[in-house]
Amino acid sequence: MRPGELNIMTAGHGIVHSEISQPDKPPLLHGVQLWVALPDAVRDREPAFDSYANLPDLIRPGFAGKC
């Protein structure tokens, strides 16, 4: 994953993952990870993973970044 990218992982009934910091990279990480519980009706769905690399820029007074 790179700055400005978005990954969406839906665990469903079976995604396992881990994050490992690379020893040859700076120790400072920039990112956020949000967890949302799926409703009971879809909790046992197939796992899914989507990656979005080309997000649009958002420029507003006091803020500029990717959205």
Q: Kindly report, residue by residue over 13-63, the tens digit of the pLDDT.
A: 766 667 777 788 777 766 777 888 888 888 888 888 899 988 888 788 877
Phi/psi of residue 64, each to 5°? Answer: -145, 125
∠1-32-47 over CA atoms, to 5°?
Answer: 65
pLDDT at 67: 57
Q: Is the pLDDT of residue 5 over 80?
A: yes
Higher pLDDT, 8 or 64: 8
Secondary structure E strands in 1-67: 6-10, 48-52, 57-60, 63-66
Quote the pTM value: 0.57
